[in-house]
Amino acid sequence: MEENRELQLAWDFVENTGVSIFLTGKAGTGKTTFLREVKSRSPKRMVVVAPTGVAAINAGGQTIHSFFQLPLSPYVPEARYKKRFDFSKEKKKLLRTLDLLVIDEISMVRGDLLDAIDDVMRRFRDPRRPFGGAQLLMIGDLQQLTPVVTAADMPLLQAYYDTPYFFGSKALQQTPYVTLELKHVYRQQDPVFIGLLNHIREGQVTGQDIALLNQRCNPNFHPRPEEGYIRLTTHNHLADSYNESELAGIHSEAYRFKAEVEGTFPEYAYPTDVELTLKEGAQVMFVKNDPAGKFYNGRIGRITSIDERHVSVLCPGDDCEIEVEYTEWENAKYELNAKTKEIESIVQGVFRQLPLRLAWAITIHKSQGLTFEHAIIDAAFSFAAGQVYVALSRCKSLDGLVLAKPVMKESIMNDHRVGSYIAQQGEAARQSIDMLPVLKEQYHIEQLRQLFDFSDLQLSDNQLSRVLEEHFSSSYPRLVAAHRQARTDIGDKIVEVSRKWMAVFMGMNGEQLRDPQFVERVKRSATYFLDTVTDVLGDLLPATVADSDSKPVKKRFEDALADMCIIYEIKTAILKEVAMNGFDPVTFMRLKQKVTLGVLDGSKEKPLKRSRGSKRESEKAEVNNEDVQNQELFELLRKWRWRKSVELSLPPYTIIKQKALIGIANSSPQTIKELIAIPYFGKKSAEMYGEEILEVVSKGV
């Protein structure tokens, strides 16, 4: 990567900015290689998805529909798909802490599918930002394979989208993203052939180009078996028919090799036939890369010996045969490791088979990403934009290419919408490179802003305070007053100070951000906010204990308190780390995700458990709460309510509410009129239990 400036720039954008990226380039420019590099080197928390099962297996990821739990039907922006959001707790955590979403083969992704992804991401992340604020890395070449739109889907999609391509996505149109184009071609070396491919790719084919291409036309071409030519066709039935015909022409014994499938491995993702029928002399193609380097995905060879247990293949240019053994493909899904908090690829199923397929012919679609020394192109009846380009660009040279039929200019179809978009993105790609230094500074500043932004803390505190004010003012006046003061302190001592502090660095350049004095100032600021947040909320949150006989009110209170405690714990943990070790934009994101997962992993209830404990401890806390001013009378009233509930076979809260008990204990009413005036008591309760309660009060005063 270090030797290729384009790939290094792409790496810089992925690693040192938060901006989304469309990485494109001609066939053979290293897009797949770059994806492997990002997966192995980047510290960012990522998942890789692709539109098809085979593409997902090859990329080491999941299909888009599987990972995001999407229906196969088109996505309609106004529709609501309740089932889609029925995600597990672990999947929600994974989505919330994702740094980078990689989408391979983006050219085959429809715009509505990208919007469906956005819908899911917003649901579990920041709903105000496209894709929930996650960084996207979209990899693919729009001049190659196109998205599939059925006749049934077309009317529905046309009502919302001008184009089926990914760039028609409403969410992507709201997303600031950069376009990077890889231009150095590794697959082809002949400048004439490269120029011809460029003209086809860009829809600028001339008569001279067609004439040059058709010089390679030889309908009666019959290569020698050892030359290893493969025929590229447009349809599956053409490729299957040709392979079956060639295999039948070999008069030797056929051997069948059945695949072993363990666990979950969907048929659409099978990398080769579940039952391979092979003969000595058959032309085959390897469909997997060999770690030892003996073969690679797309390498052509011929079977030289075979029996029930052994298959040997000799490839053109080799002196030694390759002993082919069963190999494995894994179908994996992403999960969150509960201990390490890392995103891991968990194997769901295994497909075990010889890494071969019959290869006298293969479809152009299946040839995507492969490289051939020799190929026969049968694409005169190309049925989709980009198919001729994909077929021709699989070849390493013009000399290794043979056309089964002449190529007509009409068969080289290019979608004008793609051409228009590519033209715009060409200029955008040039501008993107110039933007890199600014984007890196913005990324640094954005990380600092997230560190010192306390708006979530303030919002959560407001929600908790609102619940307390509305439902607990009478029964827990001192607690409500304490939160009222905390709300004021959060606004004055934390939020307002943070706004002034953020104004200092929001306009800084890279040199100023890296200045040692500023770096030290960031540490001091983290210390200030850590101390202040702890002073305001550190003792108050564990002491926030309140109870209600109303289940909806009780749940609303507990949810608000739990959310507040989570935000408090996350914020103080991050501030403590920065105060001790300083701020680094490269590692800050990882720190934030690690802390967040640590708090979310079973700790959502910890703040409540710490303050509320078991039911017995909860009741004890209620009795000792400072809002109960006459503890002795309160206990007498509770015992009376319990006896009454046993007598009437009713739950205690249906006799008289807890809030009313506290009010009675605090005010010690002497008459029915005074009793009725107590909140949450009422005339009906007075009629049923008034005299008994006044008698209890007279004993406790």
> Can you tell me whether residue 328 is helix, strand or coil?
strand
Q: State how far the Cα of 182 lies from the Cα of 29, in Å rounded to an integer.
A: 6
- Residue 437 neighbours by CB under 8 Å, 6+ apart: 510
User: 243 exposed, middle or buried (CB, 10 Å; 0-12, 13-18, 19+)?
Assistant: buried
Q: State how far the Cα of 46 lies from the Cα of 38, in Å rounded to an integer.
A: 9
Whether 136 contacts 20, CB under 8 Å: yes
Whether 344 contacts 199, CB under 8 Å: no
Strand order in the sheet with 230-233: 361-363, 230-233, 375-377, 401-403
Phi first, then psi, for residue 86 (nearest 5°) are -85, 65
**Domains in the chain: boundaries:** 5-186+416-435, 196-330+342-411, 453-603, 631-699
Q: State how far the Cα of 692 lies from the Cα of 701, in Å rounded to an integer.
A: 15
> Can you tell me whether residue 303 is helix, strand or coil?
strand
Residue 370, CA distances (Å) to 34, 362, 385, 386 in order: 16, 11, 19, 16
Mean pLDDT by 10 residues, the chain (701 residues): 76 91 83 88 89 81 90 75 65 86 94 94 90 94 79 84 91 91 74 86 83 91 86 89 94 95 90 94 90 83 93 90 93 76 81 95 82 83 65 87 84 70 72 83 91 93 93 88 94 95 91 92 95 91 85 89 89 92 82 74 44 37 56 84 71 76 88 87 85 87 66
- Beta strand segments in 293-342, E: 300-306, 311-314, 322-324, 327-336
Alpha helices, H only, 415-550: 416-451, 455-471, 477-489, 496-505, 510-513, 516-537
> Can you tell me whether residue 682 is helix, strand or coil?
coil
Count of other CB atoms within 10 angstroms of residue 64: 23
Q: What is the separation, in whole angstroms, between the first and last Cα of the chain? A: 84
Query: 213: part of which helix (H) or strand (E)?
Result: helix 207-214
DSSP secondary-structure letter at 164?
A: S
> Can you tell me whether residue 15 is helix, strand or coil?
helix
Q: State how far the Cα of 683 lies from the Cα of 506, in Å rounded to an integer.
A: 60
The architecture that CATH gives domain 631-699 is Orthogonal Bundle (1.10)
Phi first, then psi, for residue 177 (nearest 5°) are -140, 155
Count of other CB atoms within 10 angstroms of residue 160: 16
Query: If phi over 0 gives left and psi between -120 and 50 gives alpha, with beta otherwise, what is residue 450?
Result: alpha
Whether 118 contacts 134, CB under 8 Å: no
Count of other CB atoms within 10 angstroms of residue 205: 18
Q: State how far the Cα of 533 lies from the Cα of 134, in Å rounded to an integer.
A: 28
> Can you tell me whether residue 541 is helix, strand or coil?
coil
Q: Which of 167, 138, 166, 133 is CA-nearest to residue 10?
A: 138
Whether 525 contacts 532, CB under 8 Å: no
Count of other CB atoms within 10 angstroms of residue 266: 15
One fold for both 5-186+416-435 and 631-699? Answer: no
Q: State how far the Cα of 258 lies from the Cα of 520, in Å rounded to an integer.
A: 65
SS3 content of the chain, % helix, strand, coil (to 5): 50, 15, 35
pTM, to two decimals? 0.66
Phi first, then psi, for residue 330 (nearest 5°) are -110, 135
Q: State how far the Cα of 392 lies from the Cα of 247, in Å rounded to an integer.
A: 26
Query: 622: part of which helix (H) or strand (E)?
Result: helix 615-624
Q: State how far the Cα of 484 lies from the Cα of 215, in Å rounded to an integer.
A: 85
Phi first, then psi, for residue 360 (nearest 5°) are -70, -25
Strand order in the sheet with 260-263: 260-263, 343-353, 327-336
pLDDT tens readout for residues 133-142: 999 999 998 8
Q: State how far the Cα of 634 lies from the Cα of 50, in Å rounded to an integer.
A: 64
User: According to the model, what pLDDT value does residue 84 have?
Assistant: 53
Whether 478 contacts 626, CB under 8 Å: yes
Radius of gyration, CA atoms only, the chain: 34
Residue the block writes with tokens 């529905």: 156
Whether 125 contacts 45, CB under 8 Å: no
Q: Which of 650, 651, 634, 648 is CA-nearest to residue 693?
A: 634
Residue the block writes with tokens 């619940």: 467
| Pairing verdict, β 100-103 and 300-306 | unpaired
Q: Which of 575, 564, 572, 571 is CA-nearest to residue 604?
A: 564
Check the CA dihedral 135-140-141-146 and report its sign.
negative
The fold of the 5-186+416-435 domain, in CATH, is: Rossmann fold (3.40.50)
Q: State how far the Cα of 433 lies from the Cα of 410, in Å rounded to an integer.
A: 36
User: According to the model, what pLDDT value does residue 679 have?
Assistant: 80
Q: State how far the Cα of 368 lies from the Cα of 315, in Å rounded to an integer.
A: 21
User: According to the model, what pLDDT value does residue 603 have?
Assistant: 47
User: According to the model, what pLDDT value does residue 605 have?
Assistant: 40
